[in-house]
Structure formats: C-alpha cells, structure tokens
C-alpha cells in the first residue's frame, strides 16, 4: 500500500471519508460481491457476537463505541494477502472467547480503501487498538492463533491494571426458547427488592452480580437504573430544577436534574443536558459529567437509538 506511515496516537482525520463514494461496481466501491465487501464470501464478522464489518456508514459509530470498551481495527486483504484474512478470522473468533473485552472492526482495504487512507495505514496486515477514540498501532504481523490469544489476553490484563474494564454488548441477541423468554433467577433478589421499594438493597444485589461478572449487561443496566432511583429518593423536582438553572456548570445540580429527567421518561433531555455540561466544563468536572452520562447510557441500554445518538453527541463534545 502507498499510504503515509501511521500517525502517532490522536484523533483520526476523517476528512477523506467525506468525499463522494465511487460509482457502484467501481474498484473499491464495496458493491455486493466485491472482494471483502460486507456480506461477501469470507466476511468473517458473520456469526460473531463481537465483530463488525467496517464500511463508511458504520465506521464512526464503531470508533465511538471505543468509549465503552476497546476496539481492535484489523486491516486486511484476502485478495492480496490471504494470510491477513486469516488473521481477521482469528481475531474475530478470539473476540468471542474474550466475551466483549474487544470489539473487532474488520476493515477490508480493497472494499473501503478510503478508510485505510484516512487512517494512514502503511501496510497490511495491521491491527490498531482504539481506546476512548484514540488509535494506537498494536501489531502488524500474522501470528499463530495461540500466540495471538496470548497477546490479546496480555493486552486485556494490561488494560485492566489501568482501570479499563468495560465490555461491549453482544452484536447478536441469543434466541429465546420455544416457550418464550425465560426469566433469569439471578436477578430475582434485586427485582424483589425493587418491588418492595428497598432501593438500597436492590443496588447491593445488582452490585453483587456486576462484581461477579462485569460482562453481565443486564445486571449493569439494572444497577445503573437502581442508582438513579437511589440518588433521587426524596428530591424535590422543582427545587432541583431551580438549583440547576441558577448554577448551569454545577455538576451535582445538573446530574441531579438529568437523573430526574430519566425517571420522568425524558431520556433525550437527560442526555442532552449532560452532553452540553461536558462541552462547557473541563478537568475533573468534565470527567464527572461524562462518567455520569455513561452510567445513564448503561441504564437505557447500548442498543437503544437514543443511546447511539447520545454517544455520537458525547464524542463530538469531547473531541
């Protein structure tokens, strides 16, 4: 490939993605049947819970998902270097084994050359880790599966020591049984506590589940919403809104109204308030506002369209 060397970690220049797409059927247009096009034979994202074939339409969204947990972009060409396609397949398989610690973004440089150009990819194969929107080259060799597994495990452990423990939600839902959805008994204690109005006990029960399995997105969502209920107990809505109006940059005042909006069903208002707070603040205040917003995202669920839009707006506010 003829691109310039990969730039140092930082924001990705996506200006190259704004030009018109090539005509259908042109080389690299990504038309159905083009080598490596999403849905074409050999597209290794099929059947994986934690892999997605990258195109212009979803590239930005995949980058933004790195704010939840790390993304690994693998650049490959099955036509020019079949071994790089095998690397993409191996990474896809390992992403399932690691249960959401990484989302694999499969970038076929023949189908979407403009993305490789935007990221200044010098060669294939190349695997780039994206964490909180920042890309960092990881490795550029085809390695045996066992070595690849060990390397990803080591990376995951290093990230954990740095406090990066988030996981992606599965991209494919597990089918319900023939008799319909089966209620999971693990959540019974927390749900019973909520039914009895014992919010503190519900928070404690959900926390146990999350501590036992950080990848349990249902428990994480339950914990996030239970914490919203816990924070807003006994709060006067009118007084909270007045306090927020008088102190637009006060994190405590703004997050309280956002919580109250969530309980009132005004989800987008809650997200918008905190996105603007992130935009206006800096340092510790900005971190607190962002973390609170991420908690509200978890309460609603990462697959909700409002959360997807909220994440896009948050990324814009941050970068």
CATH of the domain at 119: 3.40.30.10
pLDDT score at 110: 93
Which pLDDT score is estimated for 40?
Answer: 37
Chosen domain end from 123, 145, 161: 161
Task: Please give the residue range of the domain that contains residue 151.
Answer: 15-161
Same domain membership, residue 101 and residue 81:
yes
Is 143 in the same domain as 199? Answer: no
* Residues in the chain, pLDDT under 50: 1-43, 173-183
**250 plus 318 within the same structural domain:** yes
pLDDT at 161: 65
Considering the domain architecture, whether residues 144 and 205 belong to the same structural domain is answered as no
Q: What is the pLDDT of residue 150?
A: 83
CA–CA separation, 262 and 204 (whole Å):
21
Residue 271 lies in a domain: yes
pLDDT in tens, 258-267: 999 888 788 8
- Residues 216, 117, single domain; the answer is no
First vs last C-alpha separation in the chain: 29
In this structure, the answer to whether residues 27 and 85 fall within a common structural domain is yes
Against a cut of 0.75, is the pTM above it? no
Q: Which of 207, 231, 255 is the last residue of a domain?
A: 231
Q: Is residue 172 part of a domain?
A: no
Q: How many domains does the chain have?
A: 3
Domain match, 197 and 313 both: no
Q: Are residues 271 and 293 in the same domain?
A: yes
Which pLDDT does position 207 carry in this prediction?
94
């Amino acid at each position: 490939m003829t691109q310039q060397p990969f730039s140092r970690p930082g924001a990705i220049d996506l200006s190259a993605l704004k030009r018109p797409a090539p005509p259908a059927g042109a080389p690299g247009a990504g038309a159905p049947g083009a080598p490596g096009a999403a849905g074409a034979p050999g597209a290794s994202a099929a059947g994986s819970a934690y892999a997605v074939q990258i195109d212009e339409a979803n590239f930005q969204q995949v980058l933004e998902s790195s704010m939840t947990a790390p993304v690994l972009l693998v650049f490959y060409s099955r036509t020019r270097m079949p071994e790089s396609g095998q690397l993409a397949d191996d990474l896809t398989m390992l992403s399932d084994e690691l249960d959401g610690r990484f989302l694999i973004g499969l970038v076929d440089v023949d189908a979407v050359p403009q993305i490789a150009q935007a990221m200044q990819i010098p060669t294939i194969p190349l695997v780039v880790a994206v964490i909180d929107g920042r890309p960092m080259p990881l490795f550029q060799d085809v390695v045996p599966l066992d070595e690849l597994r060990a390397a990803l495990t080591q990376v995951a452990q290093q990230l954990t020591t740095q406090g990066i423990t988030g996981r992606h939600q599965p991209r494919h839902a597990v089918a319900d049984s023939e008799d319909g959805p089966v209620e999971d008994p693990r959540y019974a204690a927390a749900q019973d506590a909520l039914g009895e109005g014992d919010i503190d006990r519900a928070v404690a029960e959900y926390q146990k589940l999350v501590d036992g399995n950080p990848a349990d997105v249902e428990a994480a969502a339950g914990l996030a919403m239970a914490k919203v209920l816990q924070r807003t107990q006994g709060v006067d809505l009118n007084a909270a809104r007045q306090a927020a109006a008088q102190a637009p940059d006060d994190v405590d005042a703004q997050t309280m109204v956002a919580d109250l909006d969530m309980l009132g069903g005004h989800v987008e208002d809650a997200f918008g308030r905190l996105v603007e707070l992130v935009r206006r603040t800096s340092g510790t205040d900005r971190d607190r506002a962002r973390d609170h917003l991420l908690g509200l995202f978890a309460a609603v669920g990462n697959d909700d369209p409002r959360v997807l839009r909220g994440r896009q707006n948050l990324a814009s506010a941050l970068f």
